[in-house]
Structure 1
Amino acid sequence: MGWFVFHSMCLFLFVFPSWVSSLVPLCNHDDSSALLEFKNSFSPNVSFIREECEPAYNPRTKSWKNGTNCCLWDGVSCDTKSGYVIGIDLTCGSLQGKLHPNSTLFHLHHLQTLNLAFNDFSKSQISFGFSNLKALTHLNLSSSCFHGVISTKIYRLSKLVSLDLSELDGTIFEQSTFKKFIKNTTDLKELLLDNIDMSSIKPSSLSLLVNYSASLVSLSLEGNKLQGKLASNLLHLPNLQFLNLASNFNLKSELSKVNWSTSLVHLDLYETSLSGVIPPSFGNITQLTFLNLGANNFRGEIPDSFGKLSKLQLLRLYQNQLVGQLPSSLFGLTQLELLSCGDNKLVGPIPNKISGLSNLKYLYLSNNLLNGTIPQWCYSLSSLLELYLSGNQFTGPIGEFSAYSLTEVDLSHNRLHGNIPNSMFDMKNLVLLDLSSNNLSVAFHKFSKLWILHYLYLSQINLIPFSLHNESDFTLPNLLGLSLSSCKLKSFPSFLNELKTLENLDLSYNQINGRVPSWFNNLGNGTLSSLDLSHNLLTSTGNLSHMNISYIDLSFNMLEGEIPLPPFGTSFFSISNNKLTGDLSSRICNARSLEILNLSHNNFTGKLPQCIGTFQNLSVLDLQKNNLVGIIPKIYFEMRVLETMILNGNQLTGPLPHVIAKWKKLEVLDLGENNIEGSFPSWLESLPELQVLVLRANRFNGTISCLKTNQTFPKLRVFDVSNNNFSGSLPTTYIKNFKGMVMTNVNDGLQYMINSNRYSYYDSVVVTIKGFDLELERILTTFTTLDLSKNKFEGEIPIIIGELKSLIGLNLSFNKITGPIPQSFVGLENLEWLDLSSNKLTGEIPEALTNLYSLSVLNLSLNQLEGAIPSGNQFNTFQNDSYKGNPELCGLPLSKPCHKYEEQPRDSSSFEHDEEFLSGWKAVAIGYASGMVFGILLGYIVFQIEKPQWLIWFVEDIACLIQRKRRSQKFRANKRG
């Protein structure tokens, strides 16, 4: 019997190959030839590596050989009867080259499925050749580097069931082509078009997708530049299960009117322009497992109806304007794995008891107004991997940890206090721990138990003991990032010498003094990639030239001597606000990888190094407040990726070269407070991204006239040419083209101009208010000023200035301007300071100016104005010095009465000083009283200069603004009513 079984098995194995081959059809000869010719038109690309592809290099066509059956080739399938090729799958096939419209691939007329995803068909278009494959039901060209306009003949693929053209950067789907395609492909179930350009497609055309009401199951249009109002009927197609409209910033819809499809399983509306309250109707989509409403403008409270979504696994509501408390129903969802409600305005405590969340892995509630103590379940939930509660108002001590699954914990920027519990040091899986900015205490050596820890951030907490260099047993062998900022350290911790894998180090805001130790040269064995030693008291630089780091910040110290040599691979290098001296030329040229270079507020001398102009990746160059001399090298105007150039406060000379700058990305140019001479550099007007132009306090002369008649300075928001020798009429042609000063986004809030580089660098600017120069270390995106003061301009004030509605500051003082104050100034509804002093203005002060509710500082002194000073609103707060030197003015606050009528005295309360305002010196209170930007300016001065006498007088001049603000708000409310 055994022999028989063995004999049978041998016979079966012998005949099996021929039996199997008899089941595989013989490939059609023409199809085989077409495939071989298609293969030979490409060369496998060994270097073409995709993260999505495993393995990295896999030439799928390797098995395609002449004389073999193509139906057995990798990625090829044939009809079992006819032998025609009906399917090709070359996903991650490592193909590179151009797919021509006459490619033999398009000769395969029986082809039903074609997948060319994750290859490199660069410079190829989705041409009319695809339209020859009329039998196609499935076409996937995603992430395959096609680009250009999609062929108008794609509508011929009328049998398509699935089309995936996602992730084809530079590919355009035009409206006419889209409309034809929708009308002819009636059986489509899957349409995936992520990140192709559909900006020309109108909402009315997009609504044609309802033609698929009986078939469409998956629709993904992420990042397609869609705009306008989306038809609500598109959102409730009866069979739709997957819907992704994320990252269409200008796409709107009225969700409150949507009757959602109950079949939806996946809904992603991230980063669109949705607003209003979140409708309770979301609770009707009971099949949902994925819901992303993040990065929108939703307001109001989170609906309690989310608790009905019993199958929900992921819920993202972050980066909205949501208020109120977290509904307890969220904490009863048993399938939920991720809950993200960060970056809102949520208040109140987190529920102490939960009935669900047994599968929760990720909890993100950072940057809200949550308070109370952190509930114990956050420390004990066995499934939890990541816990982010930073940027709230939690109080009390950190609880005891009883679950050790956590890998990342961020409790920073709260009001936690007490000792860090010992149980935290038993979390052996912890990779990231951030406890910064709390009133916590800890013995630092305890962290040595966390062996696999990569990132440890302990800024602004109480470290015990401070003598870290004595803790010889301390070690964190896998540490990549360490922050001990503001921990009152007085020297370099010696244990840093043992951190062999360290990449990121922040020792800023400490009291470290003395020389940089010699072992610091080898910190991390040459692998350190980030160093921050700002706000220390170092007296010598040491030698950092051999460190292979990419980020160095030594700013705000007392460093002396020459500039430390930045290593060759450094990307970020800042040593601002020190006492460094010497010539830059021979010591900076090694750092050709620099992206941000900040050497400001030092005592450097000599000329600007030519080599800086050769740094191809440099986006920020800040050399302000030094003693640099000479001209700006012409090669600086060749830097194509430069976004910020700040050279003010040096001794640079000119004139500027008459060149066509290649600064197509430049946003900030500040050459103020130098000795540059010559005419106005009108060639700057064509820079498309320029927002800040400062030429103040130089030796420029002549008239300011433009080269073009339109599209001059299209985005300019700060224009400062004050304290020069310009003459002639005010630059009306430029002013009427300042589109960036006409409108402002009131929803910007307190956002600052920040470099687009991955490193955080905030642009700065100097402004003049009431005769004082104030440096703003950050520029608000809503900050808009026009300063033409201290020149020799003459003629009348252009009426067009009244159209610059976003203007916050206007200074035309110390010129020879004549004529009246334009009535059009009433349009400057955001104006916070106005200085027209020391001119030759005539006529009366327009009564309409009393409607400028934001006006905080007014100076009309030393002119030839006449008549009665307007009263009411803000004008009840301005004192004598706003009007002095105008002999023909009369009325309060001047002592000279008007002859035409007896002025009624103002309420004495208008001049009373608010005691809390004067004693508290709070920037917030000042901002409330005097306008947002002006308040921030004044608050900054207070904290930086520590209440100088002139500032006390300054504050006294505007102290009554609190009452004025209240009156104006009441007036506005009554007016609206």
Structure 2
Amino acid sequence: MGFSPVLSLSQFLSSILFLFHFHTTISSSNYSSSSHFCAPDQSLSLLQFKESFSITSSASERCQHPKTESWREGTDCCSWDGVTCDMKTGQVTALDLACSMLYGTLHSNSTLFSLHHLQKLDLSDNDFNFSNISSRFGQFSNLTHLNLNFSGFAGQVPSESSHLSKLVTLDLSRNHYLSLEPISFDKLVRNLTQLRELDLSSVDMSLVVPNSLMNLSSSLSSLILNSCRLQGEFPFSMRKFKHLQQLDLRYNNFSDLGPWGCGLKGKFPGNIFLLPNLQVLDLTDNDDLTGSFPSFNASNIIRSLSLSHTAISVYLENDFFTNLKLLEVLALRQCNIIRSNLTLIGHLTELTSLNLIGNNLSGQIPSSFKNLVQLQSLYLGNNNFSGRIPEFLGNLTLLENLGLSNNQLSGPIPSQISTLSLRSFDLSKNNLHGPIPSSIFKQENLDVLSLASNNKLTGEISSSICKLKVLRLLDLSNNSLSGFIPQCLGNFSNSLSVLNLGKNNFQGTIFSPFSKGNNLGYLNLNGNELEGKIPSSIINCMMLQVLDLGDNKIEDTFPYFLETLPELYILALKSNKLHGFVNGPTTKNSFSKLRVFDISNNNLSGPLPIGYFNSFEAMMAYDQNPFYMMAYSIKVTWKGVEIEFEKIQSTLRILDLSNNSFTGEIPKEIGKLKAVRQLNLSHNSLTGHIQSSLGMFTNLESLDLSSNLLTGRIPVQLADLTFLAVLDLSHNRLEGPVPGGKQFNTFNASSFEGNLDLCGFPMPKECNNDEAPPLQPSNFHDGDDSKFFGEGFGWKAVAIGYGSGFVFGVTMGYVVFRTRKPAWFLKVVEDQWNLKARRTKKNARRNGARRN
């Protein structure tokens, strides 16, 4: 049948109805769609906000793609990543730019503040480069959720924040240079009456009176104020917070952050357990909080209890365990445990984390721990546990973090542990022996592995270590491992930050090449049998702070290429076979951050490197705010004795060029390095006078110029060095009187022996009248070269800075570190190290762009 071109009436009407319906549907669809479009002014504001920042991967370490990547002109901004709109008005109501790689300054005239309808704003985990929090944040009157966590904000929290009366959650945490004044805090707590969750961790609240916490909303369910520098009496009346489920007042004493913390004092508020909904209580690191821990009753629903580093008396007896059956987290690190029956811990079958570090506990690890089948983290370090590592630990299939360091454990590492899917594994400072089970190197989730110190592990490192793609810390130092170091260790891309293989018997050459963009901050290969040259690819380690290649058999010239490492604090190349001249800088800002320069016991020759003396900027200035460096151990010759610093404070300054073949005079420019605490130029062939400018070294504790060819008199200015404890000028050609008084009265004849023409105390030869020592000058303005270097610090300022900063800092840093090395590494790297990494990588890229 052929096709008829003529339509019937019914067909025609049907077609008309179809077209009408199609047109209506399309129109309706277009109308509906247009109502979803982002308002034009909102789209423009967002695009201008995006353009005001650079997108830098180092600004958000954990992110793969910036959310603003999808923000394009001409597209509906309501469909952009992180943007939520009101479907009727097209106004932006929520903006989630967490972890979006934003870098730059957030100015008060930013178009962000034109988004007046915002209800939720998340800018966490970016880098706003020490921006102040603008008072214009207070204009977001509809805001219910504000998150500025870990985004590089600084300065004062503006009082205008109190205008955000609808806030339900507020998170300003981990902005370590942010502070909150009492007036602003009072306004905040009085006006934010709907607040449920408040996190101000690491915000400086040192001027806020703890009692003002009582003005917070009674509807709070979560209050987190750790590392806030609160001081004073803990508020006792906590009953009003009936909805409180989480209370965190920890003092996280991260050593590279300074003395942040809570510092609460007074008696432990036992009535806190009358809060019916309390599930999480953390009072860690409040050393002045005293009293006894109260008895619990069966109605307690506490799931997490942390009292580490407090003076609260804790009795681990029947009542403690039988009434806390819901407990999931128990942290009593370095706590005041009066009596304990550790076997009863096996009754806490819901435990996922147990931390008993540093409590002087002894005996074998209780077999009842095998009942803790939910356990994910077990930390028993820095006690006196003995015997073998229990094999039943291998049956705790959920275990991810195992820390047994600094005990008296012996025997081999049980192979059963290797079956666990561990993330951190620390058996350092025990009495273990035998090989490292190769299966440990096959645990793909492992990011911390420390088997160092006092152990006697033998054998080789399995090549399967190359499978540990997320490894951040590897410490196998101070063992008896041998063989070749796997070459893949230079190829750990962005994961490995700390690598310590020192004090073993490794042979061969240093692994290479080091991959570009790596995150290595600490490399220690000291005390092995490594040969060959120092690989130039180390310049790819732009984050490197510590490089220790000492005590090997490296045969090379001085590695000038290391000058380009912008973060290098410590360079130790001692006791190798380095030869040739050390001519000085080849680039600008060479070694500007270097604090320890040790090239002793080599075959280096020529004049002293004056150029480097002019570029060691960190050795010219005192640290006003001492901090602990990322490195956690370094071995140096300190005051004539080889010693290992377990933790290194930034105030450490060492310049050691001893036992080489350097010639010529000591340059007067050396006086610029006034912050040096140990100077050793001994056992060279130096000539000329001892520079009086050394009197500018007001922090100097050890000076060794022995076994050279120095002539002339001993400068009287050296007697003014208040901290000088070790002095060796022996075996030179010095003459005239030994300066009298002050520090020089503490040195015996051995400091000056071998100088036949020296006289006066403590030498056996008396001085003639014409050789009598002059009166001690009160300052350096006596016509010598010290004017060239400017004024030094007064001894009082130095004494205060050195006494409180170094002695206390090193002692406490040592204790803190040795009791929680994995925790230290993870937390420091997560916060301050990431912040430093962001800026270093950004600067490296900028410098690279300039060179190109």
The verdict on a shared fold, with TM-score over 0.5 as the criterion, is yes
Q: Which residue of 1 aligns with 2:823?
A: none
Q: Does 1:540 align with 2:421?
A: no
* Aligned CA distance change for structure 1 residues 188 and 677 (closer, same or farther; 3 Å): closer
Deviates more, 1:732-741 or 1:271-280: 271-280
Say whether 1:559 aligns with 2:425.
no
Instruction: Show CA shifts across 1:909-960 (max 9, x none).
Output: xxxxxxxxxxxxxxxxx99997864788899999xxxxxxxxxxxxxxxxxx
* CA distance 1:889–1:285, shift in 2 (3 Å): same
Point out where structure 1 has 5 or more consecutive residues left out of the alignment: 1-17, 30-67, 79-84, 92-98, 100-117, 146-158, 197-219, 290-309, 462-485, 755-761, 907-925, 943-977
Preserved CA contact (<8 Å) 1:546 1:567 = no
Which residue does 2:543 correspond to in 1?
665
- Deviations, residues 181-228 of structure 1 (Å, cap 9, x unaligned): 76xx997636899898xxxxxxxxxxxxxxxxxxxxxxx99842245x
**Alpha-carbon distance in 2 for matches of 1:312, 1:288:** 9
Conservation of the 8 A alpha-carbon contact between 2:737 and 2:760: yes
Match for 1:350: what amino acid?
F
How much does 1:806 deviate? 3.7
User: Aligned runs of 1:344-423 on 2, under 5 Å?
Assistant: 349-353=233-237, 356-367=240-251, 368-391=262-285, 392-402=287-297, 404-417=300-313, 419-420=315-316, 422=319
CA contact (8 A) 2:302 2:324 kept: yes
For the 8 Å contact 2:749–2:763, the answer to whether it is kept is yes
Distance 1:791 1:620 in 2: 31
For 2:404, give the aligned amino acid: L
| Residue 615 of structure 2, aligned match among 731, 737, 741 | 737
Q: Which residue of 2 aligns with 1:842?
A: 711
* Aligned-partner Cα distance in 2 for 1:174–1:249: 10
Counterparts of 1:387-536 in structure 2 under 5 Å? 387-391=281-285, 392-402=287-297, 404-417=300-313, 419-420=315-316, 422=319, 425-436=322-333, 437-460=335-358, 486-490=360-364, 493-509=366-382, 520=393, 522-525=394-397, 527-534=398-405, 535-536=407-408
- The corresponding residue for 1:69 is 29
The 1:886/1:736 distance shift into structure 2, 3 A limit, reads: same
- Matches of 2:677 and 2:230, distance apart in 1: 32
Contact 1:745/1:782, CA 8 A, preserved across alignment: yes
Distance in 1 (CA, whole Å) between partners of 2:589 and 2:704 is 28
- Aligned residue in 1 for 2:820: none
- C-alpha offsets along residues 663-701 of structure 1, whole Å, 9 cap, x if unaligned? 233222211111221211222222233222111111111
- Bigger relative contact order, structure 1 or 2 (CA pairs below 8 A, ≥6 apart): 2
SS of 1:801 mapped into structure 2: helix
Instruction: Give 1:15's aligned residue.
Output: none
Paired residues of 1:595 and 1:619 also in contact (CA < 8 A)? yes
1:795 aligns with 2:647: no
TM-superposed CA distance for 1:726, in Å, is 0.4
Give the corresponding residue for 1:297.
none
Residues 802/277 of structure 1: CA separation in 2 closer, same or farther (3 Å cut) = farther
Question: Could you say which residue in structure 1 is the equivalent of 2:487?
Answer: 610
Secondary structure of the equivalent of 2:769?
Answer: coil
State the distance in 2 between where 1:165 and 1:509 align: 43
Output the CA distance in 1 between the equivalents of 2:721 and 2:176: 31
Give the Cα–Cα distance (whole angstroms) in 1 for the partners of residues 522 and 462 of structure 2.
Answer: 21
What residue in structure 2 maps to residue 575 of structure 1?
451
Counterpart residue number, 2:163: 263
Quick one: distance in 1 between partners of 2:314 and 2:645? 37
Letter in 1 for 2:249: L
Contact 1:613 1:638 in 2 (8 A): no
Structure 2 distance, partners of 1:801, 1:598, is 36
Structure 1 pair 858–927 and aligned structure 2 pair: CA distance change class (3 A): farther
Measure the CA separation in 2 of the matches of 1:939 and 1:429: 34
Distance (Å, rounded) in 2 between the aligned partners of 1:331 and 1:872: 59
- 1:684 is matched by which residue type in structure 2? L
> Which of 398-407 and 654-663 deviates more?
654-663
Partner of 1:812: 681
In the alignment, residue 100 of structure 2 is paired with which amino acid? D
1:82-161 alignment runs, 5 A limit: 124=69, 129=74, 143=82
Unaligned runs of 5+ in 2: 1-16, 44-49, 51-62, 85-89, 252-261, 777-798, 816-852
Q: Give the alignment partner of residue 330 of structure 1, picking from 178, 198, 213.
A: 213
Supply the AA of the counterpart residue of 2:129: K
* Residue 559 (structure 1) shift: 1.9
Partner of 1:752: 628
CA gap 1:161/1:398 in 2 versus in 1, 3 angstroms = closer
Larger radius of gyration: 1
1:872, distance to aligned residue in structure 2 (A): 5.8
Q: How many residues align?
A: 726
Could you tell me which of 769, 775, 780 is aligned with 1:899?
Answer: 769
User: What code does the residue aligned with 2:399 have?
Assistant: L
Deviation at 1:703, TM superposition (A): 0.8
The CA RMSD over aligned residues, in Å, is: 5.0
Match of 2:604 in 1: 726
- Kindly indicate whether the alpha-carbon contact (under 8 Å) linking 1:640 and 1:663 is maintained by their aligned counterparts in 2: yes
> Can you list the C-alpha shifts for 1:357-407, whole angstroms capped at 9, x where unaligned?
444443333334444431221222224332112222344431123552422
Assess, with a 3 A threshold, how the Cα gap between structure 1 residues 601 and 904 changes in structure 2: closer, same or farther. same
CA deviation digits over 1:290-333, x for unaligned, max 9?
Answer: xxxxxxxxxxxxxxxxxxxx777666665467669955453365
Contact 1:663–1:687 (8 Å) recurs in 2 = yes
Contact 2:546 2:571 in 1 (8 A): yes
Counterpart of 2:471? 594
Shift in alpha-carbon separation, 1:124–1:340, aligned structure 2, 3 A: closer
SS in 2 for 1:773: strand
Q: Which residue identity is paired with 1:263?
A: H
Give the structure 2 partner of residue 676 of structure 1.
Answer: 554
Contact 1:396/1:418 (<8 A) preserved:
no
Q: Contact 2:489–2:511 (CA<8 Å) still a contact in 1?
A: no
Distance 1:873 1:170 in 2: 57
Counterpart Cα distance in 1 of 2:217 and 2:758: 75
User: Is the 8 Å Cα contact of residues 377 and 400 (structure 2) preserved in structure 1?
Assistant: yes
Cα distance in 1, alignment partners of residues 324 and 40 from structure 2: 50
Q: Is the 8 A contact 1:288 1:312 kept in 2?
A: no
Map Cα deviations across residues 245-295 of structure 1 (whole Å, 9 max, x no partner): 775657446x8xx88587354687656686899354653567532xxxxxx
Query: What is the aligned partner in structure 2 of residue 781 from structure 1?
Result: 650
Instruction: Give the Cα–Cα distance (whole angstroms) in 2 for the partners of residues 248 and 695 of structure 1.
Output: 38
**Residues 548 and 567, structure 1, Cα contact 8 Å, conserved in 2:** no
Going from structure 1 to structure 2, the CA distance change for 1:144 and 1:826 (only over 3 Å counts) comes to farther
Distance (whole Å) between structure 1 residues aligned to residue 176 and residue 268 of structure 2: 33
Cα offsets for 1:800-848 (capped at 9, x unmatched): 3333344332222221222333344344343333322222333444444
Distance of 2:737 and 2:712 partners within structure 1: 10
Kindly tell me: are residues 551 and 223 of structure 1, through their superposed partners in 2, closer, same or farther at Cα, counting changes over 3 Å?
closer
Secondary structure of the equivalent of 1:634?
A: coil
Mapped partners of 1:795, 1:656: distance in 2: 28
Q: Which residue of 1 aligns with 2:794?
A: none
SS at match of 1:69: helix
Alpha-carbon shift at residue 498 of structure 1 (Å): 4.8
Distance 1:139 1:444, change over 3 A: same
TM, length-normalised to structure 1: 0.63
Distance 1:350 1:519, change over 3 A: closer
Alpha-carbon contact 2:564-2:590 (below 8 Å) kept: yes
CA distance in 2, matches of 1:509, 1:413: 14
Q: 2:94·2:121 contact (CA, 8 Å) conserved in 1?
A: no
Query: Following the alignment from structure 2 to structure 1, what is the Cα–Cα distance between the partners of residues 344 and 624?
Result: 49
Q: Tell me how far apart the structure 2 counterparts of residues 823 and 195 of structure 1 sit (CA, whole Å).
A: 59
